[in-house]
């Protein structure tokens, strides 16, 4: 072999040795995030995930919609049993008790601490944080998409009855609805009475009036809690709603009947509705041209000291049984979501509200609430922070609550169809709901909520 050939061979061998010594670029650690939003909201979540992936190169979150909240929880349970659970999952508010008792999670506060992130949990609005915290205030999951219920009112219609403000009491509501009817409006107010409306009709009403849904401080103090809304102001409230319905002041609107509440309001068909702040954007995009409308806090009965309303939506849980690398990715993802800049993105592209005070202040500083289409959404924050949460208004911690909501819809429909009296219908709701709670308690014998 010539000197040149020997030199080239040695050079090639050296180059190969060097190449083998240089580590290949590490692939980002992938982890799964399952969520229950669909349609436009699912597209926003996808963008949020892409933004996180673009913000760093160590981790890649793979985000998959499960279609809805119920499916997300059920699919997660099935996946966990098969050892194929996601790292992060979005669980709706009423699934909190089930998650807490499952033990199938890694506490969010411990996850963040172990991975070097310092989160000021007092930055979360109390009415939001305490819904997802333990009785000791420990954050087991991270609040994500949050909302509360508001009254939407048509300012043009109210101007015709000489009113420039939304009614603040239910006594005023009754008078205003009658005036609207007398002024020629066929549908002064729209409601729906399916299980989905338990949230605004029963749960929100009870919270702002500081009235319990169940014993044991709405279930926070034990699995032996049982329903008691048949002994509270809720009975008077349903009685008034039924009377106004009988008098033609309220119409029932639903998709099954051809037009839901939000559509009925946006088109000017009905002048008042109660729905989530999350519908604020939908009304703005679909409203009748030139219609003037606004939102206000839900009314209370005269003489009531208003309390904070309840948060709706979901939180993010990190599941057990995953690798340390995946947990590091999950922590980075939760920290990204916690950033006030993400709050601005999230609220701009959805109707949801910021979950932290810093996020709210950042949005105000950027003029988010100064003009349409976002002006008015700050009312939701005022509603959620109307008081320090009481033992009643911190939330509802009842098992199988989705089934109780369905029972609510069944009994409300019986009441409005004159098949049962108001008191008998709510008594039946309590009786059947307690049977649901009995079964849940038997599923978790000798267990207590954290």
> What CATH number is attached to the domain comprising 355?
3.40.190.10
> Can you give 93-138 as a three-state secondary structure string?
HHHHHHHHHHCCEECHHHHHHHCCCCCCHHHECHHHHHHHECCCCC
Residue 14 has pLDDT above 50, yes or no: no
- Is residue 233 very low, low, confident or very high in pLDDT (cuts 50, 70, 90)? very high
Mean predicted confidence (pLDDT) in 156-170: 98
- Kindly report, residue by residue over 246-304, the tens digit of the pLDDT: 999 999 999 888 899 999 999 999 999 999 999 998 999 999 999 999 999 999 999 99
Backbone phi, psi, residue 140, to 5°: -85, -25
Side-chain-facing half-sphere of 134: CA atoms under 13 Å: 13
Domain boundary among 385, 410, 428: 385
282 and 242 within one domain: yes
Indicate the average pLDDT of the chain: 92
Same domain for 167 and 143:
no
- Which of 385, 407, 433 is the last residue before a domain boundary? 385
Residue 4 has pLDDT above 80, yes or no: no
Note the pLDDT of residue 24: 52
pLDDT per position as a tens digit, 401-447: 999 999 999 999 999 999 999 999 999 999 999 999 999 999 999 88
How far, CA to CA in Å, does 155 sit from each of 284, 322, 335, 383?
14, 53, 41, 20
pLDDT of 22 over the 50 cut? no
Q: Which residue has the higher pLDDT, 17 or 393?
A: 393
Query: CA-based diameter of the chain, in Å?
Result: 109
Return d(Cα 405, Cα 194) in angstroms, integer: 8
| pLDDT of residue 13 exceeding 60 | no
Residue 127 has pLDDT above 80, yes or no: yes
pLDDT(92) > 50? yes
Does any domain span residue 91? yes
Q: Please check whether residue 68 is in contact with residue 311, taking contact to mean a CB–CB distance below 8 angstroms.
A: no
pLDDT digits (tens, 9 = 90+) for 306-326: 999 999 999 999 999 999 999
> Is 391 part of any domain?
no
Block residue for tokens 């969010």: 108
CB 404 within 8 A of CB 228: no
Entry pTM? 0.89
pLDDT of amino acid 2: 43
Domain match, 140 and 162 both: no
Do the domain assignments include residue 393? Answer: no
- CA 314 – CA 93 distance, rounded (Å): 5
41-63 confidence digits (pLDDT tens): 999 999 999 999 999 999 999 99
pLDDT at 12 over 70: no
Same domain, 278 and 423: yes
Residue 6, domain member (yes or no): no
Residue at which a domain ends, from 360, 385, 410: 385
Residue 141 shares a structural domain with residue 239: no
Tell me: the pLDDT tens digits for 195-213?
989 999 999 999 999 999 9
Give dist(CA 45, CA 63) in Å, integer: 8
Q: For position 351, what pLDDT does the model report?
A: 85
- Beta bridge partner(s), residue 274: 151
Give a yes or no: residue 12 inside a domain.
no
| Residues 362 and 414 placed together within one structural domain of the fold | no
| Structure tokens belonging to residue 51 | 């933004």
Asked whether residue 348 falls in the same domain as residue 429, the answer is no
Are both 243 and 373 inside the same structural domain?
Answer: no
The number of beta carbons lying within 10 Å of the beta carbon of residue 4 is 8
Number of domains in the chain: 2
The answer as to whether 250 is a domain residue is yes
Overall average pLDDT of the 344-368 stretch: 93
Whether 262 and 408 map to the same domain: the answer is yes
Rounded to 5 degrees, φ, ψ at 407 are -65, -35
Q: Are residues 268 and 318 in the same domain?
A: no
**Residue 8: per-residue pLDDT:** 36
Residues of the domain holding 303: 149-308+399-444
CB atoms within 10 A of CB 393: 27
In this structure, the answer to whether residues 304 and 185 fall within a common structural domain is yes
Same domain, residue pair 72 and 177: no
pLDDT at position 18: 45
């Amino acid at each position: 072999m010539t000197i040149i050939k020997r030199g080239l061979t040695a050079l090639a061998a050296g180059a190969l040795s060097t190449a083998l010594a240089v580590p290949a670029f590490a692939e980002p650690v992938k982890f799964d995030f399952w969520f229950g939003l669909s349609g436009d909201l699912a597209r926003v979540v996808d963008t949020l995930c892409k933004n996180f992936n673009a913000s760093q190169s160590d981790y890649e979150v793979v985000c998959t919609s499960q279609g809805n909240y119920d499916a997300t929880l059920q699919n997660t349970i099935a996946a966990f049993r098969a050892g194929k659970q996601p790292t992060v999952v979005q669980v709706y508010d009423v699934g909190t008790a089930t998650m807490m008792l499952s033990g199938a999670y890694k506490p969010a506060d411990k996850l963040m601490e172990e991975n070097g992130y310092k989160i000021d949990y007092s930055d979360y609005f109390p009415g939001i944080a305490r819904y997802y915290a333990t009785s000791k205030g420990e954050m087991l999951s991270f609040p994500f998409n949050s909302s509360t219920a508001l009254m939407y009112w048509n300012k043009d219609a109210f101007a015709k009855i000489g009113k420039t403000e939304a009614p603040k009491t239910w006594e005023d509501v009754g008078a205003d609805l009658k005036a609207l009817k007398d002024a020629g409006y066929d549908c002064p107010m729209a409601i729906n009475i399916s299980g989905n409306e338990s949230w605004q009709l029963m749960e929100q009403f009870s919270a702002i009036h500081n009235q319990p849904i169940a014993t044991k401080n709405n279930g926070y103090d034990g699995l032996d809690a049982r329903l008691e809304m048949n002994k509270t102001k809720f009975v008077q409230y349903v009685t008034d709603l039924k009377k106004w319905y009988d008098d033609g002041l309220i119409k029932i609107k639903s998709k099954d009947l051809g037009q839901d509440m939000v559509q009925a309001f946006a088109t000017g068909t009905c002048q008042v509705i109660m729905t989530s702040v999350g519908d604020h954007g939908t009304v703005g995009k679909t409203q009748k041209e030139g219609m003037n409308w606004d939102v206000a806090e839900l009314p209370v009965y005269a003489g009531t000291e208003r309390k904070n309303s309840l948060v709706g939506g979901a939180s993010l849980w990190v599941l057990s049984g995953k690798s340390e690398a995946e947990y590091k990715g999950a922590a980075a993802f939760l920290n990204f979501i916690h950033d006030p800049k993400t709050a601005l993105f999230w609220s701009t592209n959805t109707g949801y509200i910021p979950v932290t005070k810093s996020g709210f202040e950042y949005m105000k500083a950027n003029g988010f609430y100064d003009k349409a289409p976002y002006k008015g959404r700050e009312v939701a924050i005022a509603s959620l922070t109307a008081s320090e949460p009481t033992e009643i208004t911190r939330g509802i911690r009842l098992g199988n609550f989705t089934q109780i909501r369905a029972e609510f819809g069944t009994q409300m429909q019986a009441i409005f169809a004159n098949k049962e009296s108001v008191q008998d219908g709510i008594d039946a709701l309590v009786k059947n709901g307690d049977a649901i709670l009995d079964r849940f308690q038997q599923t978790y014998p000798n267990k207590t909520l954290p």
